A and B are shown apart, each in its own frame.
Chain A
Amino acid sequence: MTSRIDLILTLADDELILGWRNSEWTGIAPFLEEDVAFSSIAQNEIGHARALYELAARELGTDADALAFDRPLDEYRSAPLVELRRLEWARTIARHWLYETADAIRLEALQAADDPELAGIAAKMGREEVYHRIHAEMWIDRLLASQEGRPRLDEALAELWPYALGVLDEDLRPELVRRVEAKLERVMPAVEPIGRDQHEAELAELLEEMTMVRRSAPAGAQW
């Protein structure tokens, strides 16, 4: 498998798994407007995953659904950050913001790289991710300004920071540190990144649930 396919699947897996995790708030987000907005963000992430899987599928001679649902767990390239199941709002917002910040850096690099097809899809994704990032940053501002929110956010950031560092490779990682520190106006601890060489235990449960319908459908079923 080429490093290009590997890169596309890495992006796609991150978007698919995070989209799934974010969709776990549908119906139970803190209030109605946020429920709609966060569900919509989840749908966007899954839309990005689909576009990326389709791109990879064309080269691999398969289809997007097969890539999304039929691979064994150890072939998923998702970062542990997106695999974590943390149905707690401060952690959800902390992850959302850390991921969107890292994703922006990654998409900017792709747009600057010498691969017009990937640059094009990165630009399209970027135009939607702008709104995700605005949403995430507004929540960070809001939690930082609140007596109850700030310590809860800080606790969540402390837990998730090594995971966030694991989303990007060594070249791009310093930019993530720079942007996070600039927003929080404090220095983040220098910790060992939790990278893609491992998966969180809850990924297995997620894949089990995510592929349930596909596995139960008879071959050739049309949706």
Chain B
Amino acid sequence: MTSRVFEVFRRERAGAPMQHAGSVVAPDARFAEIYAREQYGRRGESEALWLVPREAVGEIDEFVDEFDLKYRRVDGYSIKERLREARARAGTSLRDLPGGR
């Protein structure tokens, strides 16, 4: 039996991001649709699913950091207040941005 792996993404509710749910093994895309529907949708846990053949997924698994640039990480460093001040100085605010609140 020849089978392919399909990665399944699901959206829990309108507006939520698509998140990886798992995968199904199926002989073709039509079977994958049925299997994904049953495994990730039959209990009302999803409002949409994406199916992606695994071979269509691009993978990056090497992240070169030869010079140990730890300062790029901002762990434990709160920038929220400083960003707010910077925005005030520049006369911009989130409200002015498209889709801003």
Q: A residues engaging B (CB < 8 A)?
A: 31-34, 36-37, 40, 131, 134-135, 138, 142
Contact = CB atoms under 8 A, between A and B. Distances in A.
25 contacts: A31-B25, A32-B25, A33-B24, A33-B25, A33-B31, A33-B35, A33-B38, A34-B35, A36-B35, A36-B39, A37-B34, A37-B35, A37-B38, A37-B39, A40-B38, A40-B42, A131-B37, A134-B30, A134-B34, A135-B34, A138-B30, A138-B31, A138-B34, A142-B27, A142-B31
Contact of A131 (B25, B26, B34, B39): B34
Contacts of A33: 24-26, 31, 35, 38-39
Interface of B: 24-27, 30-31, 34-35, 37-39, 42
A44 to B, nearest CB: 9
Nearest to A44: B42
Nearest to A139: B31
A201 to B, nearest CB: 33
A36 to B, nearest CB: 5
B49 to A, nearest CB: 14
Contacts of A40: 38, 42
Contact of B38 (A31, A36, A138, A142): A36
Contacts of B42: 40
A218 B39 CA distance: 36
Contacts of A134: 30, 34
Contacts of B34: 37, 131, 134-135, 138
Contacts of A34: 35
Given A33-B39, A142-B31, 8 more contacts: A31-B25, A33-B31, A33-B35, A34-B35, A36-B35, A37-B39, A40-B42, A131-B37
A34 B35 CA distance: 7
Nearest to A148: B1
The 4 nearest A-B residue pairs measured at CB:
A33-B35, A37-B38, A40-B38, A33-B24
Nearest to B36: A33
B1 to A, nearest CB: 8
Contacts of B25: 31-33
A51 B11 CA distance: 30
